[in-house]
Amino acid sequence: MPIYEYRCESCGHELEALQKMSDPLLTECPECKQASLKKALTAAGFRLKGSGWYETDFKGGKKKSEDKSSNSDSKSSSCSSGCGCHSS
């Protein structure tokens, strides 16, 4: 769940709230009890580094295709030229 920052426009009180994205925005300030809380615009609390999340999350994608090609190579070397898999 993301952490949102809020600031009261009446008294200047700032707070952080852990909320679901689907939760309604907070409006009442816990300090002055006024309905003047506004969500502050802040930077994200994480950074994606490296050559890409897809590459690191799904390592081994190439291995499956390499395995298939090595399996087909082994089939061609282990069967005779008169078998059904090599007929055109």
77-86 pLDDT, tens digit per residue, is 556 566 666 6
Long-range contacts of 42-48 (CB under 8 A, 24+ apart): 42/5, 45/3
Rounded CA separation 8/29 (Å): 6
How far CA 5 is from CA of 1, 9, 41, 68, in Å, comes to 13, 13, 8, 51
Give the domain ranges of the chain.
Answer: 3-39
Indicate whether this model's pTM tops 0.85. Answer: no
- Quick one: tokens of 6? 């809020």
Helix H or strand E encompassing 39: strand 37-39
Quick: pLDDT tens for 24-45. Answer: 999 999 999 999 999 988 776 6
